[in-house]
Structures are given as structure tokens and as C-alpha cells.
Chains A and B, each alone.
Chain A
Amino acid sequence: MRKVRVAVIGNPNVGKSTLFNALTGAKQYIGNWPGVTVEKKEGERIWRGIKIRFVDLPGSYGLGAASIDEKIARDYILLEKPDYVIDIIDASNLERNLYLTLDLLEMGVKVIISLNMIDIAASKGIRINHEKLSELLGVPVVPTIAIREKGIDKLCDVVVNAVNGDVIFKPFKIKYPKEVEEAIQELSSIIADIDSKLPSRWIALKLLTGDEDIKRKISEYKDGALIIARAEELAEKIRSIYGEDVEIVIAEARYQLIGKIVEKVISVGAKPEIDVSDLIDRVVTHRILGLPIFISILWAMFLFTFNVAQPLVDLIDIAFSQAAEYVHATLDSSNPMLASLIADGILTGFGSILVFVPNIFFLFLAMAFLEDVGYMARAAFNMDRVMKKMGLHGKSVIPLILGMGCNVPAIMSTRTIESEEDRLVTILINPLIPCSARLPIFIMLAAIFFGRYASVAVLSMYLLGFLLAIMIALMLRKLFFRGKVFPFVMELPPYRMPSWKTISIHVWNRGSKFLKKAGWIIFSVSIVLWFLAYMPPEAEFGGSESWLAQLGKLFEPVFLPLGYNWQIAVALIFGFLAKEIMIDAFAILMGDNYETVLAGMLTPFQAYALMAFVLVYVPCMATLAVIKTETGSWKWTIFTVTYELILAYVLAFFITFIGSLIW
């Protein structure tokens, strides 16, 4: 069967995911683009005897290298050379969308335009003569309504026709002012000499505008440096003639051409009286109402993610502990080691992964909904000022709040942050936000040591967590990401009713990927911990003779300055598995009256230091696994563990030290 590869590109918010799903159906291959954590989606459709492989490129406003997304999109087209590129254009926003189209056409790729959301455009009184548009651009234009799967078959027909040679793609050239045109021609002829496969005219344009990434690519050729030097000379010359940078001259020429095209193809009828989006925005970004609405929406999302999903979480929890009990009951007499491996190792391991699943799916559902409706952009818009002061980005606010529920979905929610640096900082500080699993430990310790002030002590942990998160964020900015402030040039898309099909495919893809990737890490660590707690076989599971206890005793000297004995050390090791297990660990190690034992073991200051230590010391295994999969880097994962351990120790030591002066 003949095969053809088609890349799908478009501005953000043009219904690209919906169109992609309509083209390929739910069966998609999800991976990552090499070297980065941006998701790569591929899917297939067999149409009229041809296997069409669709590749979803990240949303882009142009083929600059302004963001990672745009760089991925353009590198794919430039280096992987798909046979055709479907460019999705929002029919009600033709002007800005055509900028990307011109960039593609100048690159010389075979573009097929999907003129999407023509129904919404029509409701705004905008009609587009798509035949005229096709004629002016020299490429096929197919009107589509992706959400209702209209025009999809036609789009595939055009691909097949193109493969059969029945579609003409006319070469497209923008006429630039004289001096710019001369410079482009001079450069493109030298570029064609060094490599005839390059889109020489497009490369010439990028060199003139000083595109660093393209410069680097060209400098790898033998005479590359000479070409770059010449391009800089020519750019300087143009700057002196026009009094403006070449980039401005070129962008203006493009938008002038776009203006002419739009004039010829669009007829604007009567506009509706009320702009619904604007009405919603008046309320949502209202000076006084804005913040309460934001908090309410977050609160609703929080409840949905954690409370609505809770029965499912409990069900999974009960199912696994019942299964473990059953295994113990039936196998303990005949083969205790196998029983323990299955019950305390495998089942506990799987259980600890699966309990996250309902939360993750519910969170993604809520997130995808708010994102597709258009509220996320407003939340980022409203919170940007505050977040920026903390060295973060407007979009960092959602992960910070969600962290109070569970850091795992919170870290996964950073995916909406485009800037890699902002995203990384947001991920790395997230474990400092006290998740709900740390709350029972705070409550237990506070109840033992602080009596009627227990709630104040617990609350102070939350304040401390957020304070530390802000401090670390500012520090990371200073140390690693200095000066790289990502511009907040962001579209505020009109509010829209999202497509449930798109949302469910999206949620499924994300959720199942978490299970596959993070699942293995969590599972393996669980087995190792089980082994340490089990060995030697004659000792009580996790008891004072177990290897785990030996390990705790090994670490005892480290904790001595803080006043913690080996039992607390073991509990802290268990806490790595999942923070809430620490209470069970205390019970195993100190017996049922562990509260009294603890009361006699620590001073209130040492107990408070322990609370702070638990707050900070190390993310739980699941969080760590998700940090690894989301940053794609062991380096940052290890960095998180290291800084948190040091910070926790210093903090606990400081509190203990102050305490020893007063107590």
C-alpha cells in the first residue's frame, strides 16, 4: 500500500486536537519529541487505498524559534520533510492565522489548508470565499468544522488527489521591498550552492532576521560562517536604509500582503450585537469579582479532583488491602515468603500506583475542560503579576494550588506552561507544597505535642511550605535561569464549548501514559522496599531485626543532632514510599501506643522540627517518578531530592537548635 506522511499544524486554539482526532480516530501513538517533554501524537487513516500517517505538530504562530513548540514544529518540517502539511486556519481569525501559512509557503512545503470553524465565523457574520483564497495562495483550501467532523473526508480526498498528482501546488513568493529582495536573492543563491536541498529563500529570510537557531544550522556547513557574516552585513545595510530592523520590514510586508488577501476573500456581514466572550470576560477579569471567581473555580476543581474521585480511590484501596489480606490468609501457612511478596510487595506496589489513577483522570478532565473552554488563559492572565514576583509564570498558579491535594497530578498540570524554564521551576518547587498525604502526619504530631494549638501548628506548615516554595523559586531563577524571562504574549481565545470527544481522548492518553511510565518506577521501588522490610525471613516484617531497621540504625547517627532515633529514621524511609505510611510505620516499630512513646521521645521543638522535616525532606516515590517523566531528566530529579534533603535537615536542625536554647 502506498504511504504518505502528513504533518498537521496550526495556531493554538484553532481546534487542532479536535481535527486531529477526527482525522485519525482514537487510536493514536503518543510519544515525546526527542530531547524535550512536549508530547508527540501520531495517527493513521487508510483512505482510498493510501495509508496516510498524520503527525500532530505543536501549536505555532509562526516558524520562528520563539518557543520550544515552534522550534519543534519547524524542525520537523525542515528536517523530516513530511509529504504534505495540513495548516489549520481559524476562519474567524484569518489575518493572524495566515502569518503562519505564509511562513510555510515561503518554506516551499506543500500546504493543504483546512479552513476550520466556518460555522463560528458565520455566526460572527464572517464569510470567506475559500475558492478565491485557494487561488490567491496557490494551494488547496478545504472548509471544515472539526467538532462536527465536517470536511474531514474532503481533506483526506485532497491528500489522496495530491498523491495521485491531481493537485497543483503553485510556488509562492512574497514581494519584499527592493533592497530586501536583492539581499534575499543574493543569499539564497549562495545557500543553494552549499546545499541544494535547503529551502534557500526561506533560510535567507531567517538569516537576515538574525534567527539564532538557523544561524547555528548553517554554521555547520563549510562556508557557513561566511554566509552568516554576509547576511549580517546585508541586514545592517537594510537597517540603515529603512531605519528599522529587517524583521520589522519583513513582517510588515507579510501583513500587507495578508491584508490584501483578506480584503479579496472576506465579506463581513452584520456582526451580532453582543460579544458573549467579552461579556464573560467583564465578569471573570473584573477588578473585584475576578479573584473570588478564580478561587471558586479552583476550589471546584479541587473538590472535583480529590473529593468526587475519593470513593473510587477508597474502592481501589480497599480492594487491594482485601486482596492482600486474602493472600496472607491463604498462603501464610504454606509459603510465607511468597505470601509476603505478593501481598506486601506486588499488591502494595500496584495499589500505591492505582490509588492515584482516579485523581489523575478527574484532574485531567477538569483541566482539559477549563483549558478548552478558555478559562485557563484568563487564570494565567489574572495571576501573572503575582506569580511573576515569585519568579514564576501566570500559568504556574494551577500546579501550586493542586499540590495541596497531590503533587503527582499537580506536576502533570504544568504541561500547559509553554516556557521550559518556567515549567521546570514550577515542577521543582511543587513537592514543597504540602500534599494531603502529609496532613495526617502533621495532625498526629501536632495533637500529641501542641494540644490546643495543634491547628495553628498544622496551618504553619502550609505557610512554611508556600514560603519555602517561593524562596526556592526565586533562588532557582537567580542560579539557573537568570535573565530568561519568557514574554507573556498570550492569546486570550474566545470562550467556546469544548468537544467531549477531544477531551476524553486527551484524558485517556495522558492518564494511560502516566500508568505506563511512572508505574514502573513506583512498582520497582516498592519491591525493593518490601525486600528490605522482609529480610531476613525469620524477622518480623519491617520489625527491629529487619534489614530496613538495620538501615535505619545505620542512619541513626545522621539524625542524632536532630534528636531522632532509628525508629523515626525507618518511618522516614517508609515515608518515601508514600507519606501516609509513616503512621503505620510508627505503629509497627513502637507498638499501638506509639503516641505515648513518641511523646516521651521528643521535645515539642523536636516534634515541630520533625513536622518541618516531613514537609520538606523528599518527595514521595510517585512524585519523584512523575518529576522524572515530566522533566525527562534524572539530573533535575536527583537535584530535587538533594536540595530537599539538605533544606529539610538544615531547617529541622535550626528549629531544634532554637528549641534547645529555649527548652
Chain B
Amino acid sequence: MGNEIVRLSELDKGEVGEIIGYEKDIPSSIRSKILSMGLTRGVRVEMIRPAIFGDPLEFRVRGFNLSLRRSEAQYVLVKKV
């Protein structure tokens, strides 16, 4: 199960994924925002925890913590590491 490719929204708590790309139909407003926050290809993202009602999700990337809704994180493709 080493190099399984999943959506960022599918990572479980504590799992780390390396960004490999984005869904083609990602809305540009979401794309600009996540790119400026440093979610570029090759970067490692750790899923820290979900919010109390299960959505949004908290991630750790480039040394800071970021919250994304599942509906936004699903556009980002990661390789589990």
C-alpha cells in the first residue's frame, strides 16, 4: 500500500501524502488560494485532524496548519507516504 494515490480529502488522521497533481476541473478560485498557500506538487501534507463535525479538515504543510473543506481538498491528488 506504499504508493497509493488518493485525494487529499481521503487521508486519514496522521497520514502523510505528497501532492502529485490536481483534478482538471478544480475551480480557479480554489486553485489560486491553495497554490498561494503552498500546496504545490512535491510538497508533503499531513492530515492532522477533522473538525468536531468531521468537516473541514486540518492539515500541516510547509510548517503551518491549514484548514480545508473536504469539498476543496478532494481536488488535490496525493501519493501516500
The 8 closest A-B pairs by CB, nearest first: A290-B52, A251-B35, A62-B36, A385-B53, A492-B65, A489-B33, A95-B62, A385-B55
Beyond the given A61-B36, A491-B65, please list 15 additional residue pairs across the A-B interface where CB-CB is below 8 A: A62-B36, A95-B63, A96-B62, A252-B42, A281-B49, A286-B52, A290-B52, A291-B52, A381-B56, A382-B52, A385-B51, A394-B56, A487-B72, A489-B30, A491-B67
User: Size of chain B's interface in residues, with CB distance under 8 A?
Assistant: 35
Q: Does B28 contact A (CB under 8 A)?
A: yes
Interface secondary structure of B, over-half rule: mixed
A488:B69 contact, CB within 8 angstroms: yes
Nearest-CB residue, chain B, relative to A126 = B63
User: Which residues of B lie under 8 Å from residue A300 when comparing CB positions?
Assistant: none
Distance of A120 from chain B, by nearest CB (Å): 12
Q: Does A93 contact B (CB under 8 A)?
A: yes
B21, B36, B48: which contacts A64 (Cβ < 8 A)? B36
Nearest-CB residue, chain A, relative to B49 = A285
Q: Does A554 contact B (CB under 8 A)?
A: no
B68:A386 contact, CB within 8 angstroms: no
**Known contacts A255-B40, A487-B72; A247/B35 CB under 8 A:** yes
CA A527 to CA B56, docked complex, whole Å: 49
Q: Does A490 contact B (CB under 8 A)?
A: yes
Distance of B74 from chain A, by nearest CB (Å): 12
Which residues of chain A from 91 to 123 have a CB within 8 Å of any chain B CB?
Answer: 92-93, 95-96, 99
B21:A244 contact, CB within 8 angstroms: yes
User: Which residues of A lie under 8 Å from residue B31 when comparing CB positions?
Assistant: 245, 247-248
**B contacts, CB < 8 Å to A:** 21-22, 28-38, 40-43, 48-49, 51-56, 58, 62-69, 72
User: Which residues of B lie under 8 Å from residue A93 when comparing CB positions?
Assistant: 62-64
Q: Does A444 contact B (CB under 8 A)?
A: no
A285:B36 contact, CB within 8 angstroms: no
B64:A491 contact, CB within 8 angstroms: yes
B32:A385 contact, CB within 8 angstroms: no
Nearest-CB residue, chain B, relative to A389 = B53
Distance of A269 from chain B, by nearest CB (Å): 15
Distance of B61 from chain A, by nearest CB (Å): 8
Q: Does A463 contact B (CB under 8 A)?
A: no
CA A99 to CA B69, docked complex, whole Å: 23
B68:A248 contact, CB within 8 angstroms: no
B35:A381 contact, CB within 8 angstroms: no
User: Which residues of A lie under 8 Å from residue B54 when comparing CB positions?
Assistant: 385
Q: Does A384 contact B (CB under 8 A)?
A: yes
CA A520 to CA B59, docked complex, whole Å: 47
A96, A277, A281, A290: which contacts B37 (Cβ < 8 A)? A96
User: Which residues of B lie under 8 Å from residue A384 when comparing CB positions?
Assistant: 51, 55-56, 67, 69
**Known contacts A252-B40, A487-B33; A285/B52 CB under 8 A:** yes
CB<8 Å pairs between A and B, sample of 23 = A61-B33, A64-B32, A99-B38, A209-B32, A248-B22, A248-B41, A278-B48, A281-B58, A285-B58, A286-B52, A381-B56, A383-B51, A384-B55, A385-B51, A385-B54, A385-B55, A488-B68, A489-B30, A489-B33, A489-B68, A490-B67, A491-B37, A491-B67
Distance of B28 from chain A, by nearest CB (Å): 7
CA A285 to CA B28, docked complex, whole Å: 30
User: Which residues of A lie under 8 Å from residue B51 when comparing CB positions?
Assistant: 285, 290, 381-385
CA A277 to CA B43, docked complex, whole Å: 23
Nearest-CB residue, chain B, relative to A103 = B36
CA A282 to CA B33, docked complex, whole Å: 26
B38:A95 contact, CB within 8 angstroms: yes
A489:B67 contact, CB within 8 angstroms: yes
Nearest-CB residue, chain B, relative to A98 = B38
Chain A 508-537, CB-CB to B under 8 Å as 1, else 0, gives: 000000000000000000000000000000
| Most chain A CB atoms below 10 A, which of B21, B48, B67 | B67
User: Which residues of B lie under 8 Å from residue A82 when comparing CB positions?
Assistant: none
Distance of A209 from chain B, by nearest CB (Å): 8
CA A64 to CA B53, docked complex, whole Å: 31
Q: Does A659 contact B (CB under 8 A)?
A: no
Chain A 226-270, CB-CB to B under 8 Å as 1, else 0, gives: 000000000000000000110110011001000000000000000
B29:A66 contact, CB within 8 angstroms: yes
Distance of A471 from chain B, by nearest CB (Å): 21
Distance of A430 from chain B, by nearest CB (Å): 23
